[in-house]
Amino acid sequence: MSIHDNKVVIIGSGFVGASIAYATLIRGLCTELVMVDTNREKAVGEVMDLSHGLPFVPPVEIRTGGYEECAGAEVIVITAGANQEPAQSRLDLVQKNSKILHSILEGIEQYEKDAILLIVTNPVDVLTTLASQHSELRPERVIGSGTILDTARFRYILSQRCGISANSIHAYVIGEHGDSGVPIFSSASIAGSPLSLLCANSTSPCNQNWQEEVTAQVRRAAYEIINRKGATYYGIGLSCAYIIQSILRDEHKVLTVSSYLNDQYGSLGTAISVPCVLGKGGINRRLQVSMNPIEKEMFIQSAEKLKEAVNILN
Ligand code: NAD
């Protein structure tokens, strides 16, 4: 393998971009990592800081650059844009961040058309829709980080309740990365058994409203963190490194990421998260998740909400 086999470019070197870079370096995922930011000094500072950790991670070249650095990249990650203020929803960021996204897409399209574009900036589903509609990009190569983080939060919360490692819990959040995301309880499973069976046999059962409580905890998680420390970044940093790993190493992991859907889920007119198989070409295929009628309705409502946000913008 030559030293230039895996190039990752991160556009936006703020909290989220730097955390993705850090997680990517620690996992040894790429051989070239480039950080881009309109605030060049910020990108330079992050690269200097990260470079001092190079003796402790697998070999990688790390530097700053402009959009021209996207040439030859396998994955381009977009984290540029405003983040949520306390009490601000992700959809509140749409006007400002859609303009930033358009300027970035115009900046990079002359240099690279084959890379996988991983969009992380919020509102991630709306921006993933806009990027998928961008004439110069192939929609199958545009992925939003979507509900990968919500799914991780869901599994963590269940793991705390069940006293079982989050790695051993199979459960997904689908729909919007945001206030209408849908945790799927009906097909959540542990050790091949439905969660409901584990609950029925538990010696310390949860109260009657436990599913509503967990749903609220998943949806409120970012607000709780932002109220306390101003931004969320470690969880998404690790989540995105996991996405990048599955793509670069062609691992075919099943991850809930956002993409423009018009297949077995119907034509929803928006990018939205469902479980997807991720490998070299990006989304290899989407998987049908088993839902009860209430969850199905919540998913459709989530898609409607996103479609409305896209229509208002268009
Ligand atoms: P931040 O303010 O720390 O960083 C944003 C960076 O983008 C800044 O350094 C800014 O200079 C840069 N930037 C702005 N316009 C640019 C452009 N045109 N080109 C290049 N760089 C540009 O914000 P953050 O905390 O890193 O958050 C970034 C985004 O990620 C926000 O929209 C936030 O809501 C989102 N986010 C998403 C998730 C998720 O699960 N998808 C999780 C956390 C945060």
Q: Using one digit for the tens of pLDDT, what is the confidence trace for 231-240?
A: 999 999 999 9
**pLDDT score recorded for residue 264:** 65
The residue whose CB lies within 8 Å of the most ligand 1 atoms, and thus the one to mutate among 9, 79, 88, 118, is 79
Residue pLDDT, tens place only, 116-127: 999 999 999 999
**Alpha helices per DSSP H over the chain:** 15-26, 40-51, 94-109, 124-133, 148-162, 195-200, 210-229, 234-248, 293-313
Q: Among 87-96, 155-164, 188-197, which is the least confidently predicted range?
A: 87-96
- Give the pTM: 0.95
Across the chain, mean pLDDT equals 93
Class of domain 148-313: alpha beta
Distance between first and last Cα of the chain: 44
Q: In the predicted model, what is the mean pLDDT of residues 82-91?
A: 86
Q: Ligand 1 centroid to 250 CA: how many Å?
A: 27
Pick the atom of ligand 1 nearest to 97's CA: 32
**For 7-144, which CATH superfamily applies?**
NAD(P)-binding Rossmann-like Domain (3.40.50.720)
**pLDDT score recorded for residue 4:** 46
Pick the atom of ligand 1 nearest to 15's CA: 26
Indicate whether 303 pLDDT > 70. yes
Indicate whether 3 pLDDT > 70. no
In the chain, domain spans:
7-144, 148-313
Q: Ligand 1 centroid to 148 CA: how many Å?
A: 17
